[in-house]
Structure 1
Amino acid sequence: MLKVHLTGGDNRNWALDEDYRTIHSALEGRVKFVDLRHAQVVHSVYPRRLAKLPQASLIGKQIICNQTLGVPHFLGKPASRYALERAGLWISRSREAVEDFNALGIASLLVPYAVDTSVFFPLALDERNRLRTKWSIPLDRYLIGNFHRDTEGADLTRPKFMKGADVFLEVVTALHRLGHPIHILLAGPRRHYLRRGLRERGVPFTFVGTVTQDDDYPDNILDRRVLNQLYRVLDLCLVTSRRRTEGGPHAILEAAASRCKIMSTRVGQAPDVLRPDCVVDHPIQFLDPISKDIADNWLETTLDPHEEAVHRAHTVEAIGPPLQEAYGRLKAVAAFRPRPLRPNQVRKRRDSLWSRRVRKVLSAFVRRRGPHTVSLWHKFFQPPYGGGNQFLLALERCLRSRHGMDVRRNEIHRGIDAYLLNAVQFDIRKFERRRLARLRLAVLHRIDGPIHLYRGTQTRDLDEKTYRLNRTYAGATVIQSFWNLKEIVKFPYQPVLPVVVHNAADRAIFHGAGRSPFDRNRRIRIIASSWSANPRKGGAVYKWLEEHLDWERYEFTVVGNLSEELDIANHMPPMNSESLAEVLRQHDIYITASRHDPCSNALVEALSCGLPALYYDDGGHSELVGYGGLPFTRNDEIPGQLERLVASYEMFQHMIAPPDMGDVAATYLEILRDLADGR
C-alpha cells in the first residue's frame, strides 16, 4: 500500500482542518498514512504548508498539493513559487482552477471540495422560528447572512479583499435603501468590519458570538453544528467573494447541504454547484433577483438542484473516485529534485558552526528588514513618461521611506544584496560588462508583455532578449498580471519561479482626497489618459466616443498622447504626476480602451483617485478594476455601460480596490530578501 504523509491543517477547526478531514476520510483504506520521513508521497492540503516543509525532507518523494485559493490569487503570494517548484500534481477544487492551471502548462486534476452531510443537513421547518427567537432575531424580517471572516488577519479595520466584506456591505446597504425589510445575521470571528459598517449605515443586524473590540480569533469560531442551525434560519446566504481569489468558499456547500437559499459572485466552485441564475458576474446584479425573492420566494426552486449537486459530487464518498484517479496519475509524476542553481545565482552559504550560531542570533534583526541594499536596473526618466517608469519611481520611494532600504540605481558590486532588473528597459551591456566573473547575483526580474502584442511583431526580438535575461540571471520573476503570465506561457516561455504582482500608484500623489463631488445634475465628466500614442492605446475608440457621445449629458477629456485627432473632446498634453492626479480628481469616470495592456499604470492611477472605470475587456484590466467598474468589448456597448455606472455610481466607487503600494513593495521586498538569503 502506498505510504502517504498528509499535511496542511492548521488546528483551528476551520476550513483547512475540514479539508484535511475530508481528504483523510476519502483516502482511508486506499493508502497508508505515515510520517514525513517514511513517506513515498507527500500530500499537502495547503500550499503554504508545503512551501514551509524542509526541502531536504522532500527529495525523492512524489508531491501532491491541493489548491485552496484561486490560481491568480495564489500566484500573487511569494511562497507560491516554492510550492509550484515542489508539487508534481495539483488538486484543483473548481473547473475554473483546472482551466487556469492548464493555461500555464501545470498538471492539475479536479477533485471537488466535500462537505460533511452528517453535520450540514436540512432541519425541520418548525426549528426556524425557535432558533430565531433563541438568538433574538426578528421573525418578520428577510434574513441575509454569511459566516466568513471580514478582515485581513488581525488588522480589524481592513476588509479581507478575498472575502469581499466591503462588497457585502454595499449590496445589503443598497437593498436597505430600496426599502426592503432586511436584517443581517453575522457569526464567527473577525466580523468587526461589517458590524461597524452596518451600524454606521443604519442596517439592522444580529451577531451570534461574543462581542469584543479586540481580536476574537479563534475564540468566536463556532461549532459546525451551530453553523448548520445558522444557515437554516437564513432567508439567503450571500457570498460576495472576489473572482479568482479562492477555491471554495465552503459556505456554498454548507448552505446548499443545509437547504439554505444561496447566491454568489462567480468565484471558485460557485458555478460548479449553483444554478446559473444564482451566480452573478458583478455584485450590482444581486439587487434585482434578491428583491424578487423578497417579494415572491422564487429562490425556493433552487433548493432541490443545489442539494442534489452536493450529494452528487461533494461528499466524502463522491470525491473518492477522482482522488483515486489523481493518485493513479502519480506513475507519470517525477519525484521531487531541487532545481539546480545557475553559476551566477546566490547559494546558501556553508559556514562553520560558529558562523551559523552568530547568524542565528542576528537572523531576526536581518530578516525583518530584508536585504539592506537593493539596486534597481532601469532607464529612469523625469515624468511625464511611461507607466513602467512611473511605477518604479513610486516603488523606489516606498522602499526607501516605508521600509528603510538603501536603494541604488544601476549599480553592481559586492555591496549590493539584491538586484531588481526591469525587463529589457535598462543598460544590458553595462550590467553584463560590469558583472564580476565570480560574483553571485540575487536577481529579481520584472517582466511584462509579451512586448510584441502591444508594440507589434517587429519587436518580437525584445521578448527573446527579455527571456534570455530571465533564463540567465533570474532567481525569481515578477509578472504584472495573470493575463500577462498566460500570454508569456503561450509565447512559449516559462518564466523562472513567477509571482504575479500588480503595479500600484504612489498614494501620496494619487488619492481621492479633495475629489470633486459627484453630481447627477451636472454633466458627467469622463477622462482617459496615456503617455504613448501607440494605436493600441485606444485612440480609435476615443475618436468613436467623441462622435457618439451625448454632449449634453457628458464631458470628455483625454490627457497625454493620442493616435487620433480629436475635434470636440478636451485634449490636454502630457503632464507630471501631481498635475495629472489633480485633473483625475476633477472627473467622475475613467475610460481605457488600450489593448494587450498587461497592467495599465494609468488605470491604477485613476482607480487610486477614486474613479470607477469603463474598460476594454482585454489584458490585465479586469484584474485591476474588479468590481469598481464595467467592461466593454464593442464600441456600441459604451453608452449603455456608462449609464449603468452613473445609475449606481456610489456603489461602484465604494467597491474600488486598487493595488496598495505598501503591499506591493512588501511583496517585492520579501522576494528580494529570500533571494539574498539564497532561498
Structure 2
Amino acid sequence: MKIFILKDIKEGAWGGANQFFRLLKKKFEQRAVLALTPHDADIILIDSYQRLQESLHLKKKYPEKKYIFRLGPLFYLHRGWHWKSMDRLVVSVVNACADGIIFQSAWSKEKFTALGIHESIHATVIHNSADRSIFQYKKRNISRQQKEKIHIVSSSWSANKLKGGEHVAYLDQQIGKKFQFTFIGNTTYTFEHIVHVSPKESDALAEIMDASQIYVSAAAHEACSNAIVEAMSLGLPVVALDSGANKEIIGDRGVLYQKKEDILQAIDTCIASYDAISERLAGWHPDAASAYIIFFEHCILKRNVLTKRIVLLWLKLKATCIFAFIKLVDKIVY
C-alpha cells in the first residue's frame, strides 16, 4: 500500500496542520508507504479544502484509487460567515467522492454531520499526535521555590482573534509579576508583562516550552489543537478554553475554563493539582500515523466509490466559483 499526501507541506515555522502533516510524511517515509506521485499511490489523502479542485481532477483521472479526506475545523467558525460556503463545498465533495473520512475529533465529526456529511461513508476519529523525537516527554513537578514564579507558555501561528489573543492580553494585565509568561507566535496585541517571541521552528519551540511548567491555550473552536498535543507530549499540564474539542483532547490532563475572567483561577487549580495531572500525562502516547495506516488498510478492502463525470464537472465548477467568492470577500473584509 502506498499513500500520496495531497497537501503543500512547508518547511520551517508554520501552522499546526502543516506541522502534523510533516510528521505524517516522516512516518510514512520511515515505513516505506509514502508515494511521491498520485500515479504511484493506492491512497490519496486530502486535507479538508486544501487542493480540493485537484482532488476532483485526480478522482476523474484515477477512479480506482481510494480518496480519504481528513476533516477538522469548520472554517466559518474561525474566518467568518462567508466561509460557510467553503465548508458546504467540502461536504458536497466528500459526499460524492470520499472512500473514507478521518475526523480529527468526535466534536469535528458531530459538526460536519450536522452540515450534511453522509453517515454511510466509512469514517473514523483520529486525534493528532506530535513528533516525539522533538516533543519529548519529561516528568514534571513544581517545587516550593518554583511556586513563587511559575513559568507559563502559550503559542499561536495565527493572529486570528479566535486564537485567544484577547484572553492572553487580559492575562497580561492581571498577572503582574506573579508568573513568568512567554507567548510564541503571531498576535495583534502588545504586551506589558508577557514576553512575546516570534514563531519558532519545532525544535526551538519545544525548547522554550520545555522550560515551562504550564501551557495555556485560549483558542476557540479547535478541532484538535496541535499546540495542545505538542504541550502534552512534553508532559506539560494544559489550561485551555472549554471550546471545540479541547475537553475531548485534554481529558483529565489539564484544566478547562469558561471565560477569560476564569483563567487565573484555572491556572491556580492546575498548580494545586499539578502532580496528579503530571502523572496522568506519563501514559499518554498517541500515534496518529499508525492509526492512519490501519484505517487506510480497512479502506483498501472496501468497494470504490464511483463518481459520475458530470458530478465531478459540476463540483469543479462549483469549487471555482466558491474559491473566487471567498477570495473576493476576504479581500473586502480584511
TM-score by length of 2: 0.84
Q: Compared with structure 1, are the counterparts of its residues 657 and 467 closer, same or farther at alpha carbon in structure 2 (3 Å cutoff)? A: farther
Aligned 8 A contact 2:47 2:70 in 1: yes
The one-letter code sitting in structure 2 at the alignment partner of 1:570 is V
Whole-angstrom CA distance in 2 between matches of 1:592 and 1:568? 18
Aligned to 2:104: 480
Q: Compared with structure 1, are the counterparts of its residues 667 and 569 closer, same or farther at alpha carbon in structure 2 (3 Å cutoff)? A: same
Shift of 1:398: 1.6
Whole-angstrom CA distance in 1 between matches of 2:153 and 2:253? 16
Whole-angstrom CA distance in 1 between matches of 2:68 and 2:285? 20
Aligned to 1:641: 266
Matched, 1:405 2:29: no
Aligned to 1:545: 171
- CA-to-partner distance for each residue in 1:509-529, whole Å, 9 max, x for gaps? 11134x886333131011100
Residues 192-341 of structure 1 mapped to structure 2, 5 A cutoff: none
Q: Compared with structure 1, are the counterparts of its residues 408 and 489 closer, same or farther at alpha carbon in structure 2 (3 Å cutoff)? A: same
Whole-angstrom CA distance in 1 between matches of 2:16 and 2:246? 14
Aligned 8 A contact 1:443 1:672 in 2: no
The one-letter code sitting in structure 2 at the alignment partner of 1:575 is K
Whole-angstrom CA distance in 2 between matches of 1:378 and 1:657? 33
Q: Compared with structure 1, are the counterparts of its residues 381 and 437 closer, same or farther at alpha carbon in structure 2 (3 Å cutoff)? A: closer
Aligned to 2:84: 460
Shift of 1:671: 1.6
Aligned CA RMSD, in angstroms, stands at 2.0
Unpaired stretches in structure 1, ≥5 consecutive residues: 1-370
Shift of 1:590: 0.6
Whole-angstrom CA distance in 1 between matches of 2:32 and 2:234? 27
Residues 364-443 of structure 1 mapped to structure 2, 5 A cutoff: 371=1, 373-401=2-30, 404-409=31-36, 411-413=37-39, 415-426=40-51, 428-435=52-59, 437=61, 439-443=63-67
Whole-angstrom CA distance in 2 between matches of 1:460 and 1:468? 12
**Residue 577 of structure 1 is aligned with which of 197, 202, 207?**
202
Aligned 8 A contact 1:446 1:478 in 2: yes
Q: Compared with structure 1, are the counterparts of its residues 607 and 412 closer, same or farther at alpha carbon in structure 2 (3 Å cutoff)? A: same
- CA-to-partner distance for each residue in 1:152-194, whole Å, 9 max, x for gaps? xxxxxxxxxxxxxxxxxxxxxxxxxxxxxxxxxxxxxxxxxxx
Aligned to 2:156: 530
Matched residue SS, 2:35: strand
Matched, 1:508 2:137: no
Unpaired stretches in structure 2, ≥5 consecutive residues: 304-334
Residues 80-91 of structure 1 mapped to structure 2, 5 A cutoff: none
Matched residue SS, 1:398: helix
Shift of 1:433: 3.2
The one-letter code sitting in structure 1 at the alignment partner of 2:94 is N
Aligned to 2:212: 587
Matched residue SS, 2:180: strand
Matched residue SS, 2:124: strand
Residues 338-357 of structure 1 mapped to structure 2, 5 A cutoff: none
Report the identity percentage.
26
Shift of 1:435: 4.4
Q: Compared with structure 1, are the counterparts of its residues 540 and 658 closer, same or farther at alpha carbon in structure 2 (3 Å cutoff)? A: farther
- CA-to-partner distance for each residue in 1:141-162, whole Å, 9 max, x for gaps? xxxxxxxxxxxxxxxxxxxxxx
Q: Compared with structure 1, are the counterparts of its residues 478 and 659 closer, same or farther at alpha carbon in structure 2 (3 Å cutoff)? A: farther
Structure 1 runs of 4+ off > 6 angstroms? none
Whole-angstrom CA distance in 2 between matches of 1:677 and 1:498? 14
Shift of 1:474: 0.9
Aligned 8 A contact 1:625 1:658 in 2: no
Number of residue pairs matched? Answer: 300
Whole-angstrom CA distance in 2 between matches of 1:433 and 1:376? 15
The one-letter code sitting in structure 2 at the alignment partner of 1:546 is D
Shift of 1:436: 5.0
Q: Compared with structure 1, are the counterparts of its residues 591 and 613 closer, same or farther at alpha carbon in structure 2 (3 Å cutoff)? A: same
Larger radius of gyration: 1
Higher relative contact order (CA 8 A, sep 6+): 2
Matched residue SS, 1:603: helix
Aligned to 2:235: 610
Whole-angstrom CA distance in 1 between matches of 2:118 and 2:160? 28
Matched, 1:625 2:250: yes
Shift of 1:379: 1.5
Aligned to 1:667: 291
Matched residue SS, 1:408: coil
Matched residue SS, 1:548: helix
Whole-angstrom CA distance in 2 between matches of 1:641 and 1:611? 15
Matched residue SS, 1:651: helix
Q: Compared with structure 1, are the counterparts of its residues 641 and 520 closer, same or farther at alpha carbon in structure 2 (3 Å cutoff)? A: farther
Aligned 8 A contact 2:127 2:224 in 1: yes
Aligned 8 A contact 1:615 1:631 in 2: yes
Q: Compared with structure 1, are the counterparts of its residues 386 and 573 closer, same or farther at alpha carbon in structure 2 (3 Å cutoff)? A: same
TM-score by length of 1: 0.42
Whole-angstrom CA distance in 1 between matches of 2:262 and 2:114? 30
Shift of 1:399: 2.4
Residues 60-139 of structure 1 mapped to structure 2, 5 A cutoff: none
Structure having the higher helix fraction is 2
Q: Compared with structure 1, are the counterparts of its residues 567 and 471 closer, same or farther at alpha carbon in structure 2 (3 Å cutoff)? A: same
